[in-house]
């Protein structure tokens, strides 16, 4: 029990933190560790690692790091969350420029930088940092209506989007755009901006379809499966169907033996096959509950900056989960995107921990150490 007279910053943090959101995140991490035991050994054997538990140990390391980052960042007040996000954005953006010249290339994309034997994807931390910075800039319109705050926020977004498309990473570009639009909308999106986003989005989509062959192939294969190779989607669908209600049993799945990305992009299919439809629905329910709780917390915040930025951050988290699951269920064109906190992937795990950590910091109760209207 906490004494009412205790006003230390640690006690204040414990009182104001949304422990329901923290519990949901930790539950997802635990599910991810369980599924890494299912899909990790097969992936390690396929790639050629001597240790069949390579991805299991790797997942444990990044789960621990992600949890520490999430909890550590949640201790920041709103002003320090914005300052920290600004530093992360500047550093991450610099790394994205570096990637264009000297980045590590894999699967036809140049999105990674190699650090001490590991590959890191800077865009995973740039996205949440940009959303927080944009939320703060857009909130300044209430204090200084004549300032070019919206234009500055849009320029930061446009530069980040351009770097993502040059890698190219269309999926992350869509994710970032959706979160930015939500942030803009919650802060009071003027109709002329809404029209501009609509026209720009349609025009850019058509341009990407015309210029990027892999985008064209994926969309065409979704519309007409006979026009291209749909091996991964077909195998995922077979696995989900084979799992039935209760699954074929832990370790008994077959899809992890055939798909190279079973431990990352198609971890949902692994779960549905081995643990069944009911377990898959439980997993989806956890995501839904976390997202709903997050948006409700955002709506209760009086601070315009924190309300807009946290709504954008929960959009990042929720939409990424929705895209991953939708791809596994063949509801949208295939896109390599991890399932937050569940899929194997160090950069994704760190980025998700940062996303929820910033969101938790922004939606903490009115007893936080934040001073002033916008921190």
Question: 320-357, pLDDT tens digit by residue?
Answer: 999 999 999 989 888 878 999 999 988 999 999 999 99
Average pLDDT, the chain: 89
- In the predicted model, what is the mean pLDDT of residues 235-262? 90
Inform me whether the pLDDT recorded for 267 exceeds 70. yes
User: Nearest 5 degrees, angle CA 273-CA 275-CA 276?
Assistant: 65
Residue 158 lies in a domain: yes
Inform me whether the pLDDT recorded for 369 exceeds 50. no
Inform me whether the pLDDT recorded for 248 exceeds 90. yes
How many structural domains compose the chain?
1
Which tokens in the block code for residue 102?
């000297």
Higher pLDDT, 227 or 139: 139
Residue 370 lies in a domain: no
Inform me whether the pLDDT recorded for 368 exceeds 50. no
Residue 374 lies in a domain: no
Locus of tokens 């500047």: 90
**Of 11-15, 244-248, 315-319, which range is least confident?**
11-15
Residue 93 lies in a domain: yes
Residue 2 lies in a domain: no
- In the predicted model, what is the mean pLDDT of residues 273-279? 95
Domain that holds residue 252: 9-362
Residue 372 lies in a domain: no
Beta bridge partners of 106: 109
Kindly report whether the global pTM for this prediction surpasses the value 0.85.
yes
Beta bridge partners of 115: 118
pLDDT at 117: 64
Locus of tokens 């997993």: 283
pLDDT at 163: 92
- In the predicted model, what is the mean pLDDT of residues 286-313? 96
Residue 117 lies in a domain: yes
- Using the Cα atoms of residue 288, residue 283, residue 46 and residue 243 in order, give the sign of their dihedral: negative
Residue 4 lies in a domain: no
Q: Which of the listed ranges 44-48, 109-113, 180-184, 362-366 does the model predict with the highest average pLDDT?
A: 180-184
43 CB contacts (<8 Å, ≥6 apart)?
Answer: 55, 256, 260, 262, 263, 344
Inform me whether the pLDDT recorded for 93 exceeds 70. yes
Categorize the per-residue pLDDT at 4 as very low, low, confident or very high, splitting at 50, 70 and 90.
low
Q: Are 25 and 313 in contact (CB under 8 A)?
A: no
Locus of tokens 């079973």: 262
- CA distances (Å), origin 85, targets 130, 135, 249: 7, 11, 43
């Amino acid at each position: 029990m906490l004494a009412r007279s205790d006003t230390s910053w640690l006690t204040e943090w414990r009182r104001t933190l949304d422990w329901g959101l923290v519990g949901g995140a930790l539950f997802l991490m635990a599910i991810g560790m369980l599924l890494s035991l299912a899909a990790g050994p097969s992936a390690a054997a396929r790639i050629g690692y001597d240790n069949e538990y390579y991805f299991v140990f790797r997942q444990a390391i990044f789960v621990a790091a992600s949890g520490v980052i999430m909890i550590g960042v949640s201790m920041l007040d709103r002003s320090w969350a914005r300052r920290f996000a600004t530093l992360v954005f500047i550093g991450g953006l610099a790394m994205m420029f570096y990637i264009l010249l000297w980045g590590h290339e894999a699967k036809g994309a140049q999105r990674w930088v190699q650090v001490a034997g590991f590959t890191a994807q800077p865009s995973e931390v740039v996205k949440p940092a940009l959303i927080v910075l944009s939320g703060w800039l857009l909130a300044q319109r209430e204090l200084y209506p004549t300032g070019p705050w919206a234009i500055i926020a849009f320029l930061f977004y446009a530069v980040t989007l351009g770097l993502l498309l040059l890698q190219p990473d269309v999926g992350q570009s869509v994710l970032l755009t959706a979160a930015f639009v939500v942030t803009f909308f919650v802060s009071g999106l003027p109709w002329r901006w809404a029209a501009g986003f609509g026209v720009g989005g349609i025009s850019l989509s058509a341009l990407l379809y015309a210029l990027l062959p892999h985008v064209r192939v994926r969309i065409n294969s979704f519309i007409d499966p006979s026009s291209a190779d749909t091996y991964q989607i077909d195998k995922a669908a077979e696995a989900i169907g084979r799992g039935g209600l209760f699954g074929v049993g832990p370790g008994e799945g077959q899809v992890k033996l055939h798909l190279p990305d079973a431990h990352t992009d198609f971890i949902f299919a692994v779960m549905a096959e081995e643990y069944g439809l009911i377990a898959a629905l439980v997993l989806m329910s956890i995501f839904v509950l976390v997202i709903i709780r997050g948006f409700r917390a955002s709506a209760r915040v009086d601070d315009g900056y924190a309300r807009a930025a946290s709504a954008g951050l929960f959009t990042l988290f929720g939409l990424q989960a929705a895209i991953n699951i939708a791809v596994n269920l063949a509801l949208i064109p295939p896109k390599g995107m991890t399932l937050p906190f569940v899929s194997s992937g160090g950069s994704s795990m760190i980025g998700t921990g940062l996303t929820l950590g910033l969101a938790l910091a922004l939606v903490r109760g009115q007893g936080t150490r934040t001073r002033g209207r916008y921190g």
